[in-house]
Amino acid sequence: MTNYKLTIQYDGGRYKGWQRLGNGENTIQGKLEQVLSELEGEKVEIIGSSRTDAGVHALAQIANVKLNKNITESKISNYLNRYLPQDISVIEVIEVPDRFHARYHAKDKTYRYKIWNKVYPHPFMRKYSMHIETKLDVDKMIKAGQYFIGEHDFTAYSNAKSKKKTKVRSIHSMEIEENEGFIQIRVKGNGFLYNMVRKMVGTLIEVGLGHIDPDHIPDIIESKERNQTGRLADACGLYLEKIDV
Amino acid sequence: MTNYKLTIQYDGGRYKGWQRLGNGENTIQGKLEQVLSELEGEKVEIIGSSRTDAGVHALAQIANVKLNKNITESKISNYLNRYLPQDISVIEVIEVPDRFHARYHAKDKTYRYKIWNKVYPHPFMRKYSMHIETKLDVDKMIKAGQYFIGEHDFTAYSNAKSKKKTKVRSIHSMEIEENEGFIQIRVKGNGFLYNMVRKMVGTLIEVGLGHIDPDHIPDIIESKERNQTGRLADACGLYLEKIDV
């Protein structure tokens, strides 16, 4: 068997997220496994680095798949791009050592969030950004963002149903910048809980709107209370940007 | 009556172009007139600078409309953005002299065309660019593009059904550049015939593929034969970028 690492880009808009659910559910993993199984001639399983939520996009999801068939990297990639839906692209396929496991070997992850901050909607980015009509105070958001950096117990930013043993995660960086009407938030960390990025962005939006004081962020984190974080930012503004493996 | 100039951005993907057709046809002009008529309380007509085709986008279409109601610019713009579909945005409304007419006062027009030139499809730009899998020779395209500049009889680049008296148009500039997998073509002229930009881009694609020699462009233009120009580029890659009024 040969192990292949795949780099995948997708518009998550019409999918129920990465993870395969029951039969017939529309998921990224499901679509990839369907096409790869046709190529292989038998059922195969693909392992993703990150389980993106319903509606969340990926610029570079990393996955691995083991195939019996002796076939070149470019043939796999061409086959996938020919038979996958147009909103899922395979941008790279490379042979990797047998021990490579996309989830276990994922170290740091970078997510990007796009806010369109003008009074009028953006006709081309309406499905690829969150629209906030009220002018946000970006300086305050930048100040607030810095409090997330470091190792914290992110219980306040987790989902009530989460079964993760520990909710301690390290945020390495949080970059916030404004450019031509867009506010982009880029956050890098060693892992993120379910909905954690969208909840952090939700808090930052409340800060930008003047509803939460930037200096209040440490209290919110320390409170470990999920009702302190403000809104959950829309899925359509979130992109899995990079996985360090 | 007060005359207003509107700057409008739209995703033309699901519309039959700018120009209002019969009742109930899905057009940009039709949508705008519907909402403006509701605001005005009676039927109003909006005049556009450029009649973009079905599926063509606009970054800054210019239009004008005369309203009886005494209402501020920002109220008109807010009303439109509230009631228009999300794929049409009004980015500016300003009061202009009564004599201003968006079509008659349009001087130069700039169009932009986006080609995605990688083997894999672009999940986010699939509806906003034309996908050409084969690597195009951009240097040849740049060379070919220069031959369009100047005043020419563009009969070869017109539609057979066109009723325009003269097919002479002036192309002021043609910029072609490659950036991160995209080839962008920007063409500015004093006017364009129906389908003319998409036909010019079609020729440039044939040049990039090596099917047409760059130095053959003057012959194609001089031939005045419509079957010499190669393919018609997809509507979804074309954007009306700027109107000089």
pLDDT tens-digit series, residues A133-153: 999 999 999 999 999 999 999
pLDDT at B191: 93
Mark whether A68 and A170 lie in a shared domain: no
pLDDT at B129: 98
- CB proximity A126 to B under 8 Å: yes
Mark whether B170 and B193 lie in a shared domain: yes
pLDDT at A164: 75
Q: Which residue of A has its CA nearest to B9?
A: A123
Check the CA dihedral A84-A88-A91-A92 and report its sign. Answer: negative
Mark whether A61 and A29 lie in a shared domain: yes
Residue A102 in any domain: the answer is no
| B67 SS3 class | strand
pLDDT at A213: 97
The confidence band for A126, taking pLDDT boundaries of 50, 70 and 90, is: very high
pLDDT at B187: 98
pLDDT tens-digit series, residues B2-49: 999 999 999 999 999 999 987 778 999 999 999 999 999 999 999 999
Which contiguous run of DSSP H or E holds residue A184? strand A182-189
Cα–Cα distance, B169 to B164 (Å, whole number): 11
Which contiguous run of DSSP H or E holds residue B116? strand B109-116
Average pLDDT over residues B52-62: 97
pLDDT at B165: 82
CA angle A13, B11, A134 (to 5 degrees): 75
Mutation for testing the B interface, residue in A120, A126, A134, A236 having most B CBs under 10 Å? A120
pLDDT at A159: 84
Tell me which range, A23-32, A59-68, B64-73, is most confidently predicted by mean pLDDT: A59-68
Mark whether B114 and B73 lie in a shared domain: no
Which of A96, A129, A148 is a domain's end point?
A96
Number of residues assigned to chain A: 245
Average pLDDT over residues A115-143: 97
Residue B103 in any domain: the answer is no
Which of A63, A96, A129 is a domain's end point?
A96
Mark whether A152 and A219 lie in a shared domain: yes
Residue B105 in any domain: the answer is no
Mark whether B118 and B170 lie in a shared domain: yes
Which of B96, B126, B157 is a domain's end point?
B96
> Is-contact B199 B187, C-beta < 8 A?
no
Name the residue type at position A54. A
pLDDT at B25: 82
Work out how many domains chain A is built from and give that number: 2
**A86 vs B contacts (CB less than 8 Å):** 121, 123, 126
Across the interface, of B57, B89, B120, the residue whose CB is closest to A91 is B120
Mark whether B114 and B92 lie in a shared domain: no
Cα–Cα distance, B18 to A61 (Å, whole number): 39
Across the interface, of A11, A81, A128, the residue whose CB is closest to B120 is A81
A111 is in an annotated binding site: yes
Active site residue B87: no
- Crossing angle for the helix pair B138-146 and B196-208, to the nearest 10 degrees: 140
CA nearest neighbour of A13 among A128, A183, A184, A131: A128
Percent of all residues in chain A with a pLDDT value above 70, rounded to a whole number: 100
Q: List residues bridging with B113 in a β-sheet.
A: B185, B238
pLDDT tens-digit series, residues A26-37: 999 999 999 999
Name the residue type at position B230. G
Mark whether B126 and B83 lie in a shared domain: no
Do residue B123 and residue A77 have CB atoms under 8 angstroms apart?
Answer: no
- CB proximity B198 to A under 8 Å: no
Range of the domain at B53: 2-96
Which residue is associated with the tokens 């998550």? A12
pLDDT at B53: 93
Percent of all residues in chain A with a pLDDT value above 90, rounded to a whole number: 90
Average pLDDT over residues A90-110: 96
Average pLDDT over residues B153-168: 87
> Is-contact A169 A191, C-beta < 8 A?
yes
Residue A173 in any domain: the answer is yes
- CB proximity B61 to A under 8 Å: no
Mark whether B115 and B75 lie in a shared domain: no
Residue B31 in any domain: the answer is yes
Residue A83 in any domain: the answer is yes
CATH number at residue A183: 3.30.70.660
Residue B102 in any domain: the answer is no
Residue B49 in any domain: the answer is yes
pLDDT at B70: 81
Average pLDDT over residues B90-100: 97
Percent of all residues in chain B with a pLDDT value above 90, rounded to a whole number: 90
Mark whether B174 and B86 lie in a shared domain: no
Mark whether B122 and B228 lie in a shared domain: yes
Q: List residues bridging with B242 in a β-sheet.
A: B110
Do residue B126 and residue A91 have CB atoms under 8 angstroms apart?
Answer: no
Rounded to whole angstroms, the maximal C-alpha distance in chain A is: 59
pLDDT at A112: 98
Question: Mean pLDDT over all residues of chain B?
Answer: 95
Lowest mean pLDDT among A55-59, A199-203, B71-75: B71-75
pLDDT at A138: 98
Give the distance from residue A160's alpha carbon to the nearest chain B alpha carbon, in angstroms.
Answer: 32
Residue predicted with more confidence, B70 or B55: B55
Q: List residues bridging with B93 in a β-sheet.
A: B6
Question: Mean pLDDT over all residues of chain A?
Answer: 95
Percent of all residues in chain B with a pLDDT value above 70, rounded to a whole number: 100
Mark whether B117 and B205 lie in a shared domain: yes
CATH number at residue A34: 3.30.70.580
> Is-contact B147 B213, C-beta < 8 A?
no
Q: Is the pLDDT of residue A69 over 90?
A: no
pLDDT at A90: 98
CA nearest neighbour of A72 among A141, A137, A4, A119: A4
Cα–Cα distance, A208 to B245 (Å, whole number): 37
